[in-house]
Structure 1
């Protein structure tokens, strides 16, 4: 399953293609902020068709100090709804993007911030409205990362349709 993180699963490829079509059709600019996925989500978005026209970029905020400094995440746990929300909203502003997804979590094998491995917080910002969601994914770090990327893409597609 580790290949899913770097190359993407078939479902992630389908979601990327669907997002590319929606972004082009609706004139949306898209960005991401990611922590535990360490650039895998931005890589997937950048590989989608026509991404030069709609993908603004991504912020890989792996270290706490980057989250707190650059993305204005309040002090405290970073595996949290508050963190995901701040990451998405700050990235929308920094990259001037219409649609942003942020992911932060405990990929494993250990937990983080008192949260068990596989805990991931997502936030999606569009039209000044941010929605958040917590998921728990099974498996080791490669499986958690692959599921996180796929779920984040699905959230982007859903919000792009709205």
Structure 2
């Protein structure tokens, strides 16, 4: 287990406490991480009471159809990350949602270098994103992304 993996586990436990105490419903939309965030969040204590679920949408057409991402949006952008999170919030009737999109590597994608990551967040009436520039091999980039996505969920949940 990497340090990032342990960090994600610790953050999920805190997220579970906050979600349970506040009666929050949490959702995830993933592209880059292909279900890794959902796996981490779903392993949290009493997840069945607060984790609504996740949608893994890798292809742009799926992002558009299921989550309402506008056609033509750069899939590796803050705008896409925000729309993914907003779509997950809407589809799963959640209180807070997070999303991941980016380039895990090892090669660049279009004009985006490996390690370019965007995390989106959404809650009723508000949304935004965080841009990350991560280093390392693809496995390390994905692990860091999962940890940062869970931290973002935790940060957003505290604000509710």
TM-score range, shorter chain: over 0.9
Matched positions, count = 157
Indicate whether 1:102 and 2:99 are aligned.
yes
Segments of structure 1 that go 5 or more residues without pairing to the other structure are none
Give the Å deviation of 1:68.
Answer: 2.1
Give the Å deviation of 1:112.
Answer: 1.8
Is contact 1:92–1:100 with CA below 8 Å preserved after alignment?
A: yes
Task: Write out aligned runs for 1:22-41 (5 A).
Answer: 22-41=18-37
Among residues 87, 105, 110, which one is paired with 2:84 in the alignment? 87
Indicate whether 1:130 and 2:124 are aligned.
no
**TM-score if structure 1 supplies the norm length?**
0.93
Is contact 2:106–2:114 with CA below 8 Å preserved after alignment?
A: yes
* Aligned equivalent of 1:15: 11
Per mean C-alpha deviation after superposition, the further-off stretch among 139-148 and 107-116 is: 107-116
* Aligned equivalent of 2:155: 158
Per mean C-alpha deviation after superposition, the further-off stretch among 82-91 and 69-78 is: 69-78
* Aligned equivalent of 1:67: 63
Give the Å deviation of 1:43.
Answer: 0.5
Q: Once superposed, what is the RMSD of the aligned Cα atoms?
A: 1.2
Give the Å deviation of 1:77.
Answer: 1.6
